[in-house]
Amino acid sequence: MRQGIKQQRKLRGVLLALFMLCLALWLGGLVLPWLTPKPDLYRHYAGSQAFFAREGELLALRPAADERYRLRLALTDMAPVVQQATILYEDRRFYQHFGLDITAFCRAFWQGVVKGGRRQGASTISMQLARMHYGLNSQSLAGKLQQIMLAFYLERHLTKAEILEGYLNYAPYGANIESVGAASLIYFGKPAAELSTAEALALAVIPQNPLQRNPERQNGQQQLQQARLRLLQAWQQTYPTSSTEQQLLALPLSFESRRDLPFVAPHFVQALARQQPSGPIHSSLDWHLQQQVTQQLKAYLRQQQRLGINNASVLVVHRPSMQIKAYLGSADFFNSAIAGQVDGTAALRSPGSALKPFIFALALQQGVIHPKSLLKDLPQRFGLFSPENFDRRFRGPITATEALVQSRNVPAVTLQAQLQQPDFYQWLAANQVPLPQAADYYGLALALGGMEISMQQLVKLYAMLGNQGHYQPLQWLAQSANAAPQQAKHHKTINTRKDAELNVAFNSKLPVSSQEDVEWRGLLPEAAFLTLKMLATQPALQNERLTALTTTPQVAWKTGTSYAYRDAWTLGLYGDYVLAVWLGNFDGSSNPNLIGRNVAAPLFFSLLPLLGEQQHANQRLFAQSEQLNLREVALCRQSYQLPNQFCPEMESGWVIPGVSPVAVSDLHRPVPVYRQSGLRACQHQPPLTELAVFEFWPSDIAALYQQAGIRLRQPPAFAEDCQQLSQTQVQPPQIVSPQPHLTYLPQADQPLALQARFDGAAKQGYWFADQRFLGTVKPGETLFWPATTGRYQLRVQDDLGNVSEITLNVQ
């Protein structure tokens, strides 16, 4: 009796379940999908961050915010064999049903519910996606019905390809690994697009039992292999293979684990991670070059340990595309003793003399100098600032090119003081260099590294020299607007628009540019090219590896050493690359061995061979373009101005027509000399006199030659008093100190130094403040004046009648 009652109850339950199922089918299949919007499968998808090098090598894989490895991929980025194996194992009628496989469902219902036997799976891929996406409990009848309805909902709004893609992006693959993209990287160290048939069969069987078939577990690989072999039998029936291929497919696989995940270029990866929260990121980094630079850097630092040097940063950028190719923020990311996790390429450091090329470039651009202009490396005073050279010596007259490559401080400061619209401060600000203080705070010390700048910013400035003066931001991704259209076979996931937005994100913190910033950004192409050529005149440091690569490589390079020996720099352009190296300590501690030329330059040149053959690229880099407004002219070798008829030697030099300050040289002047007495005549009276050519150097340079023991050939004394000397070739005096654009603060114990540069024919100078006579000087002498507060017209006059004056402010 009781047995019959139980059977009746069970039958009623079955009938009720069937009724509810039919009702669910009707509601879910006919009504619900038409009343709901299209689902967004990835609205709350917490994805991992996967970072790839240029050719697809994995740099790092980071878990999502919920500590799960989950990587969203497009279906086209998954090998077709992965899709085929998954459908074969999970849902063979996937393309025939509408979300519910009626045949499989009825069979499972009859076997598990009616007969009470072992429960069989009947969930389609659509149903499994609904369960995973909406977090359903499908063990209960209500949960199963909800799963079916949501499967109908997905089928109504999504294509089969979108559903399969969603499943493979949500499916569990053991432990905290979800999605076929993450599983492929972790277990096989390759993108899902490159999976083999054997690997695809293994991944296809894991989601059905991810706990027992986890290849990281002790017995997981054994159970996984058994399930894979069962799937292999079905695979061979559907996709016939040869006996040899069958044997190969049956061989056990080798699996990697989460512990084996790489972490290459950690500082680079961290910089990328801050810009994009999830998804695969295909960077511009050259994996092989990164490894080679890392090894070379470590080997070099082992050699320098005796000098107390144990940390460095390196940045390699492909100049035409501005893509980052190698990025070492420190010598060892995991070494806390050197603060290895600090990113030295982004850290603000003193550049030392590394910024000097851009002072010279602006001076070329503004017509202050040309590459061979004579500059004065002499003691000078700029208000209270008296710059000194690194070697504490002065070399007198020196060409602009020599002053740059020899890193002479005084000429650089002198040029900075002459820059206008923009001055050096304005130009740095216009080119996105952060200057938190006002211009007066830095003053003329900017020329000597009296500010802070990052290696990334320096590289962008140096790249301008080879990119015709154009300012361009760094590119971090493999595909960008400036990059060549190269793409690895598995890089189909790259979204050009998305990558462009990410590249922009790296520069989103830059200040908003004003109209003046836009006008002042970059350099005149001619000035950039001439500066590049000037830097290239410095001989390259030779080593065995570089000599083996090329006999005489032309490299445009510059060193820098910060105050108190805290930073040693070398930056340069070679072929299509910009290379920057820095050595120092992140805590700012000093080391007398941290000198750019001594320790940074050898590392710089040891890395150049890693960039490969650059002969043709170098030829393009240093070849003059016909589009540039440049002209090579003959210059007088002593004055480096256009030669007059009396110049004894000439050499060629580059000028920018209409910009460069070139005039006919008046250094060599004819002097009439009596043939009999050898004394100087007032005027030429042939045949009594003959013309002899003498060099009339300015007074300050002539005095320096005299101090150095160099005897200049002087014209003889006059035979008689000359009432009027021809002034056609005499230059007016030039006031050297004080500067007209500076404001001076009077100090009782420090009178103002008055200095002037006189023509070689002048013998006396006279100083005046307004109409008041201050004193008399001989060429080369300094007059000290105890100036008081006021505004003065300061004037100097030589004994030849020539006058110069400036307006002076004393506060």
Tokens of 324: 């980052």
Which has the minimum average pLDDT: 143-157, 184-198, 711-725, 779-793? 711-725
pLDDT average, residue stretch 692-708: 81
Q: Which of 569, 597, 622 is the last residue of a domain?
A: 622
497 and 614 housed in the same domain: yes
Residue 713: per-residue pLDDT: 83
**Closest listed residue to residue 459, CA positions, set 474, 444, 481:** 474
In this model, does residue 198 exceed pLDDT 60?
Answer: yes
Residue 557, domain extent: 300-622
Tell me the pLDDT of the chain averaged across its residues.
85
Query: Does residue 661 lie within any of the structural domains?
Result: no
Residue 35: per-residue pLDDT: 64
311 and 252 housed in the same domain: no
Alpha helices in 281-355 (DSSP H): 287-304
Query: Does residue 713 lie within any of the structural domains?
Result: no
pLDDT average, residue stretch 603-628: 93
pLDDT average, residue stretch 431-450: 92
Residue 737: per-residue pLDDT: 86
Residue 380: per-residue pLDDT: 75
- Tens of pLDDT, residue by residue over 80-131, are 999 999 999 999 989 988 888 776 566 655 555 545 544 555 689 999 999 9
Burial 250-274 (b: 16+ CB within 10 A, else e): eeebebeeeeeeeebbbbbbbbbee
Per the structure, the count of domains in the chain is 3
Report in angstroms the alpha-carbon separations of 329 from 198, 341, 351, 491, 566. 40, 8, 17, 27, 17
Tokens of 744: 């001076």
CATH number of the domain enclosing 777: 2.60.40.10
Residue 482 pLDDT grade (very low, low, confident, very high; cuts 50, 70, 90) = very low
Which has the minimum average pLDDT: 102-111, 284-293, 668-677? 102-111
What angle (nearest 5°) sits at the alpha carbon of residue 498, between those of residues 495 and 500? 105
pLDDT average, residue stretch 681-696: 89
In this model, does residue 488 exceed pLDDT 70?
Answer: no
Cis peptide before 738 (omega within 30 of 0): yes
234 and 365 housed in the same domain: no
Query: Does residue 43 lie within any of the structural domains?
Result: yes
315 and 251 housed in the same domain: no
Which has the minimum average pLDDT: 268-272, 285-289, 385-389? 385-389
Residue 493: per-residue pLDDT: 37
- Tens of pLDDT, residue by residue over 399-439, are 999 999 999 999 999 999 999 999 999 999 999 999 999 99
Length of the chain: 811
Residue 376 pLDDT grade (very low, low, confident, very high; cuts 50, 70, 90) = confident
571 and 452 housed in the same domain: yes
Q: Which of 605, 622, 639 is the last residue of a domain?
A: 622
In this model, does residue 487 exceed pLDDT 50?
Answer: no
Which has the minimum average pLDDT: 72-86, 580-594, 685-699, 742-756? 742-756
Q: Which residue has the higher pLDDT, 500 or 636?
A: 636
- DSSP-based three-state secondary structure for 698: coil
Residue 535: per-residue pLDDT: 97
Helical axes 220-238 vs 80-90, angle rounded to 10°: 100
Residue 15: per-residue pLDDT: 57
Which has the minimum average pLDDT: 139-153, 183-197, 423-437, 501-515? 501-515
Distance CA 311, CA 304 (A): 10
Provide the pairing of β-strand 567-574 with 577-584.
antiparallel
182 and 305 housed in the same domain: no
Residues 6 or more apart whose CB falls under 8 angstroms from that of 544 comprise none
pLDDT average, residue stretch 6-13: 60
Distance CA 566, CA 588 (A): 6
Of 42-56, 337-351, 385-399, 741-755, highest mean pLDDT: 337-351
Residue type, 153: Y
In this model, does residue 483 exceed pLDDT 50?
Answer: no
Query: Does residue 294 lie within any of the structural domains?
Result: no
E strand map for 333-400: 374-377, 396-399
237 and 328 housed in the same domain: no
Residue 28 pLDDT grade (very low, low, confident, very high; cuts 50, 70, 90) = low
357 and 442 housed in the same domain: yes
pLDDT average, residue stretch 788-806: 84
Residue 630: per-residue pLDDT: 92
- DSSP-based three-state secondary structure for 790: strand
Quote the pTM value. 0.81
Residues of the chain with pLDDT > 90, as a percent, come to 54
Q: Which of 577, 602, 622 is the last residue of a domain?
A: 622
CATH number of the domain enclosing 178: 1.10.3810.10
Helix (H) or strand (E) holding 430, with range, is: helix 424-430
Q: What is the CA radius of gyration of the chain?
A: 39
Q: For 254, which DSSP code?
A: P
Residue 786: per-residue pLDDT: 84
In this model, does residue 621 exceed pLDDT 90?
Answer: yes
In this model, does residue 585 exceed pLDDT 90?
Answer: yes
Distance CA 85, CA 88 (A): 5
308 and 200 housed in the same domain: no
Tokens of 600: 């940074």
In this model, does residue 638 exceed pLDDT 60?
Answer: yes
CATH number of the domain enclosing 462: 3.40.710.10
Residues of the chain with pLDDT > 70, as a percent, come to 85
Residue 748: per-residue pLDDT: 63
Query: Does residue 538 lie within any of the structural domains?
Result: yes
207 and 351 housed in the same domain: no
408 and 496 housed in the same domain: yes
373 and 505 housed in the same domain: yes
Distance CA 109, CA 17 (A): 10
Query: Does residue 650 lie within any of the structural domains?
Result: no
Query: Does residue 265 lie within any of the structural domains?
Result: no
pLDDT average, residue stretch 551-561: 88
Question: Are 759 and 698 in contact, with CB atoms under 8 Å apart?
Answer: yes
Q: Which residue has the higher pLDDT, 206 or 11?
A: 206
DSSP 17-64: HHHHHHHHHHIIIIIHHHHSPPP-TTTT----EEEE-TTS-EEEEE--
Distance CA 308, CA 304 (A): 7
